[in-house]
Structure 1
Amino acid sequence: PECKGIFFKYGIILKALHLITTSSALKGAIQLGITHTVGSLSQKAERDVLMQDFYVVESIFFPSEGSNLTPAHHHGDFRFKTYAPIAFRYFRELFGIRPDDYLYSLCNDPLIELSNPGASGSIFYVSSDDEFIIKTVQHKEAEFLQKLLPGYFMNLNQNKRTLLPKFYGLYCVQAGGKNIRIVVMNNLLPRSVPMHLKYDLKGSTYKRRASPKEREKDVPTHKDLDFMQDMPEGIQLEPDNYNALSKTIQRDCLLLQSFKIMDYSLLVGIHNVDQAYRVRVGAGDSRGAEGTVTPDQRRPQAQKALYSTAMESIQGEARGRGTLDSEDQWGGIPARNSKGERLLLYIGIIDILQSYRFIKKLEHSWKALVHDGDTVSVHRPGFYAERFQRFMCSTVFRKALKSSPSKKSRGGCGQSVVRRLAMGNAPPAAQSSSHTLPDSRLVYRPHLIQSDVDTESGKE
C-alpha cells in the first residue's frame, strides 16, 4: 500500500509535468509569454543599458482561466520569466529587429519543431518565417549566459564581425515544479536552402566521427574525421573571403578564450549550387541556369535580423534587407570544392555556453589517460581555441589561388604540410599566403582517419 501511494503521487506529478512538457503546450506557453513580455517592454521608455539591467528577472503568472494581465488559455497554469529584458531589447535593436517583427515571427504562426535535437538533448524550434531558432538550455547554461551578457554587450558594440550566436532573448517556463529555460537566437541554416552536407567541427580527432544512427538521417551531421575523409583538400575560398573568415575566427576564439569557454563547434552547412542545378535539370526544370542560384523554388524574404547571415558575419556589413537576385544575397559564403563545384556555405560558432569548470577538467584528465590528451575535444580554453582556429584555417578552409585555380594541390594545406598561424599575434589576413611551413605539431595525418573506427553516438 505504501508503494502504491508513492507511485500514485508520482503519477500525479508526471501528469502535471506532461501538461506543459508536451510540445504543443510548451510552444503555446512560449508564444504567450513572449507576446506579453515584448508588449509590456514597449511601454518602458528607451534609455541606455545599465549594469544592473543584465541581472533583472521579470516574472508573470499565466493561470489557465486568465487574469487581468494575461489571457485565458488551455495549456495549464504556468509562470513565465524574462531575463535581462532591457539588455535583450538593446541587442534586438542592434541587430535591426523591430518589436513587431520579433512578435510576428515568433508568435503569429505555430513554431516548427526540428527533428534533429542534437547530442545535448536540447529541443529546437524554428519560427515559421525561418528567422529565429528557439533552443532549450540547461540551468547551468542559462546561468552562464547571464554572466556573459556584460562582456557580450561590449563585444557587440565594438565588433559586428562575429560568428558567435546572436542572442535575442532568454526566458524560462515554469510549470508543475519544472523549469524549462529557452534562448532565442539567429537561424544559421535556413530551411529554404537545402543543405547537401552538414558538419559539426571542433578541431578534435578523438571519436569525432558521425555514428551509424546519425548517418541514417537524410542530412546527417558529420564530424571532423568525416570532413577530413570527405574533403581532404578542404573548401576553397576566394582570398578576400578567406582572410575575412580567418580574422573573424581568430577574434571570436580570443574572446571565447578570455571567458574560459571551450567545447564549442563550428557548424557548417554546405549547399552545392551545381548539384542542385543538376537535380533541377534532371527533374525537367530549366530554371536556374549556369551563373544563377535558386536554392529553392520558394524564395525566402530578406532576413529581418542584420549581421545574421554568414557573409555579414565575416564582413561586418549589414545587407539583409536587400533584394534576393544574386547568390551572395542568399547569405551564404561562395566557395568551391576540389571538383570546382560552386558552393554556398552557412556557418556559425555554436555551443558556446560551456565554461571550463571542474567537471570538464576531470573529463579531460580521464580521456587523456586512455588517449592522446591533445586530440580530445575537452581541453583547457587556450589550447582549445588555438587548435580550433588552426584546424579551421588550414584544414577546413583553404585560400584559392586566382592564378591557377585548377591546381588543387596548391590551393591550401596538404595533409603533411599546413599553414602556420600566429596565434594571438598578427591576424591571418596579415600573413603571407605564399609560404607553407612543415610543422609536425600541426599535422592531421591520414592514419588518424583510417585507424579511427569509433561508432559511439555521444557528443565528444
Structure 2
Amino acid sequence: MSQTEMEMSGGPAGMTRRTGTVKRAMWGGLRQQWKLLGLFEIDQQHEFYSLTSMMKEGLSAAVQTTIDNPPPDELSEDDYRLEVTQIHKDFKMETFAGPVFASLRRSLGMTEKEYQHSLSSDGSYLQFISNSKSKADFFLTNDKCFFLKTQNKREVKFLLSNLRIYMEHLEKYPHSLLVKFLGVHRINISHRRKVQTDYRLLFIGIACVMIIIYYLQLCSCLVLPFSQKYFILMQSVFYPDDRINARYDIKGCEVSRWTDPTPEGSQVIVVLKDLNFKGQYITLDQQRPWLLRQVEIDTSFLQRLNVLDYSLLVGHQPLHQDERHQGLSFATLVMRTKKSVITGSSPTHAGMPTVPGVVPEEDSTLLVSEMDGGTESCSVAESRGGSDPGSALSGRTCTEQPAGSVTDSMVLRDFQAQNRRLLPNFKNPLHVIDGPEHRYFVGIIDIFTVYSFKKRMEHWWKRLRHPGQAFSTVSPTSYCLRLCQWVQDHTK
C-alpha cells in the first residue's frame, strides 16, 4: 500500500497528517477570528465585562467629584500631585491629578456632565483588537468618543511626571495634534470578588475537574491578572467615525509596516500602516503649510521628552458637496491661524463658544482692525529658499522655531494657509482638517516609549538584522526628522 493510500485509509501517516492539518486549521481559524474581530461589544459573557463594569462605576463617581468640586482657574502644584481614592463594594478607584485633567477637558469645550454620560451610559463598552504589538487592552465608550487603554506603571509615571509641560504645550498650541489625555486612573480589584467570579465558572465542571481548577485558581491568586490595572482615557482621534473609509498608523518606516487590508465592502475595522499608504497623498492645498508646521512643533516637543515609536494616525472620508464650501469669515480664519501658531495663545477664553477657535461674527470687525493695527502677528511655515510654504522642512533641523516673526502683510497674504479644522457643528474639532475633497482625521498617539538603554540595544540589533531598511527604533532626533519628512513627502 502506498503512503498516499495509507493516508487515505487512516494509517499512521494519514492520521499524523490529518492531526497536523486539524491543528493548523484550528490555530489558523483562531488567528483569523481575532484578526477580524476589530471592534465588538463587551457583553456579559465577555472576559472583560466585570472589569469594564467596574471602570464605568468608578469613572462615574470620579467625574462626579469634579462636578461637585470644579477645578480652579489656576492650577497649583498640589493639583498635579493629587491622588483621590474612592472605595466601592468590590474595588477601589484611584484618580491621579483629577483637577488638571478636568481643566483640560474644560478647555476642549466638553462639560463634565457630557463626559460622565459618555463614560457611564447604559450601553456596553467596546473592545478594539488592533494589530499593534502592544500588550495593552483597548476599550471605547459606547458612543466611540473616548478611548480607554491599559498602561503599565512606568508609562503612567512618565505621563504624570511630564504632565505640566504637556499641559503647557497644549496651552501654547491649542490645536496641537498630540492626543488629548483626559484622565489617569488605577483600579484595585478585591481578591474576594475575583475568586467568587471564578467559583461560578467552576460549577460547570464535573467534581474532579472542579477540584483541580479550584486548586489551580488558589495558586493563581498569588498573582491575579486584574487585581490592579492602570488605565488612561483619551479623546478618540477617529470620531465621529460614521463615514471614515480608511485608517492608517504611520511611523515613517518600512520594516513590519504592512497590514493585510479587508475585502472590499467589509465592515471590519482594520488600521493600515505605512506601506499600505504607498502612492497616496493627504491633499490639503492651503491647509498643507499649517499641518507641516504643527507636526514639526509637536514632534520637536516629543524629541525633547526623549521619546520615540509614536504614531501619526490618519483617517479620511469624502466631503459632501455642502461641506466643500464652508462659509467662514475672514476673522474666523485669521483667529484660527493665530490660535494655531502664536506663542502664548490660551485654549480657554471667557465668553468664547464651546468649540475652541470659533470667532463670533460680532467680534470680526475688532479682530480685523487688531490685525491691521499690528498688535498681533502670526506665521505659517515658510521655506528658506523660496515662496512655497510647503518646503518648510528642507534644510531644517527638527527644532521648534519662534512664531510671530512675520509682518502683518504676510498675515494678510497667507491668511488662507491656516488651520481650518474647527468646524462649528462638529463634535471632535481638534483632530480634523478639511481638504478640497476629503476630511482628514489626524493625531499623534503612543508617546510613552523612552529612548532607554534597552531601546539603544534594540536599535543596534535591528541595524544588523535589517541593513539598509528603515525601522522604528531610532534615536528621538532621527525619529522626529523622519516623521516630519514623511508628512512632507505625502502631503500636497
TM-score (norm 1): 0.63
Q: Secondary structure at the match of 1:236?
A: coil
Q: Which residue is 1:200 aligned to?
A: 249
Deviations 1:144-164 (A, max 9, x none): 111120111211221112100
Give the aligned CA root-mean-square deviation in angstroms. 3.3
Residue 40 of structure 1 is aligned with which of 47, 65, 79? 65
Instruction: Please tell me the residue identity of whatever aligns with 1:207.
Output: S
Q: Name the SS of the counterpart of 1:110 in structure 2.
A: coil
Distance 2:454 2:47 in 1: 31
After TM superposition, list the pairs within 5 Å mapping 1:100-139 onto structure 2. 100-119=113-132, 120-139=134-153
Query: How big is the shift at 1:208?
Result: 1.6
Pair 372,335 (structure 1): closer, same or farther in 2 beyond 3 Å: farther
Counterpart Cα distance in 1 of 2:171 and 2:442: 22
Alignment partner of 1:241 out of 287, 296, 319: 287
- 8 Å contact 2:422–2:430 — kept in the other structure? no
Any idea what SS the aligned residue of 1:397 has? coil
Check the 8 A contact 2:131/2:271 in 1, yes or no.
no
Residue 24 (1) aligns with residue 49 (2): yes
Q: Which amino acid aligns with 2:58?
A: G
SS of the aligned residue for 2:450 comes to: coil
Deviation at 1:96, TM superposition (A): 2.0
Aligned to 1:265: 311
Give the alignment partner of residue 344 of structure 1, picking from 420, 439, 459: 439
Say if 1:97 and 1:137 are closer, same or farther in 2 by CA, change over 3 A.
Answer: same
In 2, the alpha carbon distance for the partners of 1:89 and 1:329 equals 18
Structure 1 counterpart of 2:485? 390
SS in structure 2 opposite 1:220? coil
Q: Structure 1 regions of 5+ residues with no counterpart? A: 1-18, 64-76, 274-287, 294-302, 309-313, 337-341, 399-460
Task: Select the structure of larger CA radius of gyration.
Answer: 2
- 1:226 Cα deviation (Å)? 1.9
Name the residue aligned to 1:55. 81
CA–CA separation in structure 1 for the residues paired with 2:49 and 2:128: 15
In 2, the alpha carbon distance for the partners of 1:139 and 1:264 equals 18
**Paired residue type of 2:167:** F
Which has the larger helix fraction? 2
- Alignment partner of 2:155 out of 137, 141, 163: 141
Does residue 335 of the first structure (1) align with residue 429 of the second (2)?
Answer: no
- Contact 1:117-1:123 at 8 Å conserved across structures: no
What is the CA deviation profile of residues 85-121 of structure 1, one whole-angstrom value per residue up to 9, with x for unaligned ones? Answer: 1211211122122211111111123343143334113
Q: How much does 1:44 deviate?
A: 3.4
**Secondary structure at the residue paired with 1:249?**
helix
* CA-CA distance at 1:50 after TM superposition: 1.5
1:250 aligns with one of 296, 315, 320:
296
Question: Corresponding residue for 1:187?
Answer: 236
- State the Cα distance separating 1:335 from its structure 2 match: 3.2
The CA distance in 1 between the partners of 2:357 and 2:464, in whole Å, is 43
The residue number in structure 2 matching 1:226 is: 276
Q: CA deviation at 1:210?
A: 1.5
SS in 1 for 2:69: coil
Instruction: State the distance in 2 between where 1:359 and 1:78 align.
Output: 35
Q: Matched residues in 2 for 1:241 and 1:226: separation?
A: 24
SS at match of 2:317: strand
Cα distance change, pair 217–364 in 1 and its aligned pair in 2 (3 A): farther
**Matched letter for residue 357 of structure 1:** S
1:87 aligns with 2:100: yes
Answer yes or no: is the 8 Å Cα contact 1:161–1:315 preserved in 2.
no
What is the CA distance between 1:212 and its match in structure 2?
7.7
Q: In 2 relative to 1, CA 118–138 (structure 1 residues): closer, same or farther, beyond 3 Å? A: farther
Provide the C-alpha distance between the structure 2 equivalents of 1:103 and 1:118, rounded to a whole number of angstroms.
Answer: 30
Question: How many aligned residue pairs are there?
Answer: 325
- Corresponding residue of 1:164: 178
Distance in 2 (CA, whole Å) between partners of 1:113 and 1:163 is 25
Whole-Å separation in 2 of the counterparts to 1:20 and 1:182: 22
Partner Cα separation in structure 2 for residue 369 and residue 51 of structure 1: 46
Q: Aligned-pair distance for 1:199?
A: 1.2
Using the alignment, how far apart are the partners of 1:349 and 1:392 within structure 2? 12
Contact 2:125 2:142 in 1 (8 A): yes
Give the direction of change, closer, same or farther, for the CA distance of 1:21–1:36 in structure 2 (3 Å limit). farther
> Unaligned stretches of 5+ in structure 2?
1-43, 192-223, 325-352, 359-416
User: d(CA) in 2 for partners of 1:128 and 1:307?
Assistant: 28
Q: Aligned equivalents of 1:26 and 1:241: distance in 2?
A: 43
Q: Give the partner amino acid of 1:204.
A: C
Q: 1:362 aligns with which of 457, 467, 472?
A: 457
Describe the shift of the 1:210–1:346 C-alpha distance in structure 2 as closer, same or farther (beyond 3 A): same
Q: How does 1:385-424 map to 2 (within 5 A)?
A: 385-394=480-489, 396-398=490-492
Q: TM-score, structure 2 length as denominator?
A: 0.59
Distance in structure 1 (CA, Å) of the matches to 2:288 and 2:252: 18
The corresponding residue for 1:450 is none
State the match for 1:296 in structure 2: none
One-letter amino acid of the structure 1 residue matched with residue 268 of structure 2: D
Distance in 2 between the 1:217 and 1:362 partners?
41
Provide the rounded CA distance (Å) in 2 between the counterparts of 1:257 and 1:263. 11
1:392–1:248 Cα change, 3 Å: same
Q: Which residue pairs with 1:98 in the alignment?
A: 111
Deviation at 1:204, TM superposition (A): 0.8
Render the CA deviation track for 1:318-354: whole Å, top value 9, x for unaligned.
846x3369xx989742336xxxxx3221111111111
